[in-house]
Amino acid sequence: MKKIINDPADFVDEMVDGLLLAHGDELRAASEDRRALVRTDAGTGGKVGIVTGGGSGHLPFFLGYVGRGLASGVAVGNVFSSPSPEQIYAATVASDDGAGVLYLYGNYGGDVYNFDIAADLAAGDGIRTTTVLGTDDILSAPADRADTRRGVAGLILAYKAAGAAADRGDDLDAVTEIARRAVARTRTMGVGLSPTILPAAGEPTFTLDEGEMEIGIGIHGEPGQHRGPLETADEITDRFLAELLGELELSDGDRVAVLVNGLGATPLEELYLIYRRTHRTLADRGVTIHRRYVGEYATSLEMAGASLSILHLDDELAELIDAPARSPFFTQGAVAPAAPGTTAQGTATQGATAQPATTRPLASGRSAAATGEVRRTAEPGRLREVVVAVTGRLPRYSDELRELDAALGDGDLGITVGAGARAVHDAVAALPDDAHPSEVLRAAGVAFSGANPSTYAALVGGGLVAASQALTDVDTLDAAALTRATRSLLERIQERGGAEVGDKTVVDVIAPVLAELERSDGRTPAEVARASVDAAASAVDEGAGRTSRRGRASWVGERSAGHRDPGSVAFLHLLEEIADEL
C-alpha cells in the first residue's frame, strides 16, 4: 500500500481537520468530534436545510456539496462506513432554522438505519425531517426493484436541484418533491478498472486481472454485472447508453443534464472520450445536453474507472440545475461564499465549531437546547443503576456471540454488542442519578447505535430511542411505563426491520417479554424479569429449528436451521443480567 497518510486510524479526522483549516470561510464543524459539518450560514435565514452524509473515501461526494445552492450540512463516517446517528443529528440541529430539514443521501442499509434514528432524535426536538434516497445505480437492481438500487454519482444532480429550490425559499414539502423528481429521472452506470485500498486495511477491496474491466461495479467495490476484457472508450460508453436510454426513454426535443464522473484515478482526458460519444449519440436522437459536468464528482479513493449519469430534465428541473451554487469543491455561476451565520447567543459561527445540542429529553420530547426549559425529573426507580451494572457485564458474551454469528452471518455481532454495551455504560453512567427514564433510554439508544454501526445496532438503538419517547411524560417508572416502552421498542424494530414473530430474529424474544409485562399485576419486578427470561429462552430454543427469514442469516437459507439466532441470544443475555441484578 502506497498512500500519503499518517496513522490509518487518524486518516478521516486529519482529513476533516485539513478541510476546515483550508475552507473555514465556507464550512464549520457542528459537533465536538467534527464529523458533522455545515456551511457557515446553516440554520439561518428561515430556509429549508438539506443534510447528506455517508462514508469517507468519496471526495468530493457528500462533503463536497455543502454550500450555497447545495446541501446545508453533512455527517461523515469512517472510510466506506456510515456516520453515526449522533453525527447526523448534530448536522440536522445546526441546519434547522424552523423550516425543517431534508435528508438526501444514498440508499445504503447502514446509512438508512442511522438517518432514521437521527430523524427520531430530531423529532424529539420538534424538527421536522423528510427523506429522499438516491437510487440511480441502474445495474444494482432490476427496474421492478428500482427502489432498492444504490445511490451513486447521479445524487449530485439531486443536490443541485433540491439545493436551488431551498435557496429560492421553497418549503420542505416542495424541496422534497424536487429531490424525489430529480432522483426518479436520473440513471447512472459505471465501470471499474482497478480496485481501491482502504487505509485501515491495506488490502484491495476486490481484484481484477490485468486487462480486465468490471461493468456495474459499486463505489465500495460491490460486484458488478459483467467482467471481461477491457473495451474501447466508445464500446464502454455504448454499453452505458444502451442501459440508460432503455430506461429513460428519451425522444427528439428532450433535454438532459449529463455527468461524466471519474472514480479517483482516471485521467480527465479519458472522461472526455466518454462525453464525446455520449454527446454524439444523444444528438443523433435529437436530445439536447442542456448542462454537462465532466470531472471527479464522486470517487472511491484511488479506484480507476468512470460512471455516466443522465438526468431527464423538465422545465423546472432545468431552471434549478442552472441556478448558481458554490462550495469548496463545486462552483457554478457567480455566487459569494456563505456568509457567517449568527447563533442564538448572537456570536458569529464562521470557522468555529458549533456547540453540540443538548440532547437531554424533557417531558415534551423537546431537548433543553431547543426549548430552554428546565429538565423534568421523575421517580426513575433503579433504571439508571441497572443499566450501568448490566452493560458493565454484557461484553463477556462477545466471543460466544461472535461464534454464533459466524455460523449465520459475518461474525461481527460480538463486536457490536461488546462495543455497544461499553458505550451505553459510559453514556448512562455520565447522567445524573435522578435522570429521567426517557433520558436513560435515549442515551442508551444513541450510544448503542453509534458504537459499532451495523444493522443490529441501528435496529436495537432505534428501538430504544422510540422507547425513550414513549416515556417522556411519565412521572414514575412503573410496570405500565415499562410496558409502554417495551411495546414501542418492539414496534419500532418491526417497522424498520420488517420482521414478524417467527422470522427468527430478536423480535421473537422481545414479543414474549412484552406479554409478560402486560400481565405483570401482583408480581415483583424480579419475578417479572425471571418470567421474561424463561419466556425468551423458550423462544430462542423453539426458533433454533426454524429457517431464518430476515436479516443476513436469511441468506444462508436452510443452513440456518439448527442454529440459535445470534441477535435473539444477545437479547436473552441482556434479560438474564437484568434479572440477576434485580
pLDDT digits (tens, 9 = 90+) for 551-563: 777 767 888 899 9
Catalytic hit among 58, 220, 436, 573: 220
What pLDDT, on the 0 to 100 scale, is given for residue 93? 98
What pLDDT, on the 0 to 100 scale, is given for residue 110? 84
Query: CA neighbours within 13 Å on the CB side: how many for 393?
Result: 13
Q: ∠330-302-270 over CA atoms, to 5°?
A: 70
Query: CA neighbours within 13 Å on the CB side: how many for 182?
Result: 34
Cβ-based neighbour number of residue 184 at 10 Å: 15
Strands of 84-233 (E only): list them: 101-106, 129-134, 186-194, 212-215, 226-229
Omega before 60 cis (within 30°)? Answer: yes
What pLDDT, on the 0 to 100 scale, is given for residue 349? 52
Q: How far apart are CA 82 and CA 112, in angstroms?
A: 9
220 among known catalytic residues = yes
Does residue 197 sit in helix, strand or coil? strand
Distance separating the N- and C-terminal Cα atoms of the chain? 53
Q: How far apart are CA 511 and CA 360, in angstroms?
A: 29
H helices of 310-371, in order, are: 315-322, 368-371
Residue ranges, the chain, pLDDT below 50: 342-348, 352, 354-374
DSSP 468-506: HHTTTT-SB--HHHHHHHHHHHHHHHHHHH---TTSSST
pLDDT digits (tens, 9 = 90+) for 479-528: 899 999 999 999 999 999 899 999 999 999 999 999 999 986 788 889 99
